[in-house]
Structure 1
């Protein structure tokens, strides 16, 4: 039976089991223990984020963000339509109206220059998504937000170790959320992190994280007892998850270097097709770094993409499309204002993601590129 190339394969550094065993031996398995602190300190020290809180998912981190921003029914939140439902759900749960923005013509990220036209007196926040780990133009976004007095949340689910003009993504907006889902560069199965850059929110974020209690302050000896002081939920992951994650973080640089090699090899292997305008390759703006989270190509239409997916599948290669525009979703279509989001729909129909993971071999990658080239010969 011919070898199959999956779309994704989570990488194990080799220390995950060791650190999990250490957590087990400590007999302290609930959240906010030694490994949780190590992970949070890693991000605070490496990227100079003000406060980091591990969560059970990026979705949970965004739910915390919505609570911290005190989103109320009737508030409006601007975000791109071309994103995962987790970007929108936390604000929907608080009663917000989602105002969907289009993508850029040259990149699936939000069209920054179209944001201001969507601002109203009800706008409470702008949520940007750093698609494929490629930064939005944050100078434009922050300028709009500051002039109109609205919050900015960075959905940095795909953006670990990525930068905007030398600034780490996740450290620019008032709040940010990361993902460590098994499809990301750094993984722990399911997991996420909230970044709090606005110092005024730091204390409350910890209370929300700990089920609405001041338990963390109690364990630091800041209060003599703890109790229920605010809304909250059980957002923190167990020490077992944090132990797994810390093993991954220790190997971040090696993982990033390997992914970058694969990303560059795809560019080289598919450049001829791009120069002949058979496909479009990813665009990285001058202000953004590339963390090699994803390699995608753009086809001419949905039919061509479906045909290529089938061609790759017949050669035991799994390639997948990505988001379906949220403004066209069954849940939100009737709530959308009816504006045409041309580029969001274009990425919905035409974007195809290729396998990219640490253990993807050179022969496998050559096969993928050659199979795509073969498709366009016929």
Structure 2
């Protein structure tokens, strides 16, 4: 944020997966001038689709509301701040339906419990995989002391000599769904077309080719986790 202030820039914070996580005591989504949460079905707190815009700069609040209200000042009209509402600028309909909102409300009420349960699952993976890390077969996630994560995912970085696809195939053969996460943006079609890079980003590419995400959801049992780790151990040990 200091860099942005020095150059007169606004920061839009992508906190899509960051609900109930924090950096240096501040909730993710509350650091930038604007923050964005996702409630897609793959996130910790869900409504199927949709998300939320967090407006941390009061100067942007009115415009954000107008854009949400199809480009009109309808919200100000309902609050009695104007005698009629009119089209102010470009906007769209970003309001969730009542059923989606009700579903999300129930999720938000349980957000702390959901997060704590996911953290328990995350910590169990972390303990079970310590012996494999000690053997140099993989690296577990590293969480800095000033960060509070929300257990959105658990991943490992396989040792460079291990063939990731063989590991994924073995997990799949044992009916364990595991994926390797996103293709690095700089090597994606849109990244090549619109992006700019400094150098070849070889380290990014190398790390992306080693990453494996393990199953993690709120109903995952300890026995299922032990099975996942056993199969993973057989695949790489």
Query: What TM-score, normalized to structure 2?
Result: 0.95
Give distance in 1, aligned partners of 2:236 and 2:190.
37
- Displacement of 1:234 in angstroms is 1.1
Question: 1:160-179 counterparts in 2 under 5 A?
Answer: 160-179=19-38
Question: In the alignment, does 2:165 pair up with 1:306?
Answer: yes
* Distance (Å, rounded) in 2 between the aligned partners of 1:239 and 1:343: 46
Higher RCO structure, 1 or 2 (CA under 8 Å, sep 6+): 1
Aligned to 1:332, the other structure's residue is in SS state helix
Structure 1 residue 264 displacement after superposition: 0.2
**SS state at 2:108 partner:** helix
Instruction: Report how far residue 337 of structure 1 moved.
Output: 4.1
User: What residue in structure 2 maps to residue 41 of structure 1?
Assistant: none
Contact 2:35 2:55 in 1 (8 A): yes
The 5-angstrom pairing of residues 92-107 of structure 1 reads none
Query: How much is the aligned-residue C-alpha RMSD, in angstroms?
Result: 1.5
Q: Which moved more, 1:261-270 or 1:319-328?
A: 319-328
What is the deviation of 1:263? 0.1
Please tell me whether residue 372 in structure 1 is matched to residue 227 in structure 2: no
- What is the Cα deviation at residue 334 of structure 1? 4.5
Deviations 1:186-222, CA, capped at 9 Å, x for gaps: 0111120001111100011000011100111112222
In the alignment, structure 1 segments of 5+ residues that lack a partner are 1-141
Question: Retained in 1: the 8 A contact 2:73–2:88?
Answer: yes
Structure 1 CA distance, aligned partners of 2:71 and 2:17? Answer: 28
1:150-177 deviations in Å (ceiling 9; x for gaps):
1211100110011111111111111110
Q: Which of 221, 224, 233 pairs up with 1:361?
A: 221
Distance 1:217 1:361 in 2: 49
2: CA distance, partners of 1:181 / 1:217: 29
> Which residue does 1:186 correspond to in 2?
45
The DSSP-based 3-state class of the residue aligned with 2:77 is: helix
SS at structure 2 position matched to 1:296: strand
Q: Which residue of 1 aligns with 2:109?
A: 250
Answering whether residue 148 of structure 2 is matched by residue 289 of structure 1, we say yes
- Do residues 317 (structure 1) and 180 (structure 2) align? no
| Change over 3 Å in CA distance of 1:254–1:332 after alignment to 2 | closer
Could you tell me which runs of 5 or more consecutive residues in structure 2 were left unpaired when the two chains were aligned.
none
Match of 2:88 among 229, 245, 252: 229
Check the 8 A contact 2:162/2:236 in 1, yes or no. Answer: no
Aligned pair 1:267/2:126, yes or no?
yes
Say whether the 8 Å CA contact 1:302–1:349 is kept in structure 2: no
Does residue 211 of structure 1 match 2:67?
A: no
Give the equivalent residue in structure 2 for 1:341: 201
SS at structure 2 position matched to 1:323: coil
Cα distance per residue 1:290-313 (max 9 Å; x no partner) = 211110011134962111110101
Q: Note closer, same or farther for the CA distance 1:159–1:230 as it changes in structure 2 (3 Å cut).
A: same
Secondary structure of 1:331's counterpart equals helix
CA pair 337-330 structure 1, distance change in 2 beyond 3 A: same
1:201 to 29, 43, 60: 60
The alpha-carbon deviation at position 344 of structure 1 amounts to 2.4
Q: Distance in 1 between matches of 2:204 and 2:95?
A: 33
CA distance in 2, matches of 1:146, 1:174: 11
Shift of 1:376: 2.2
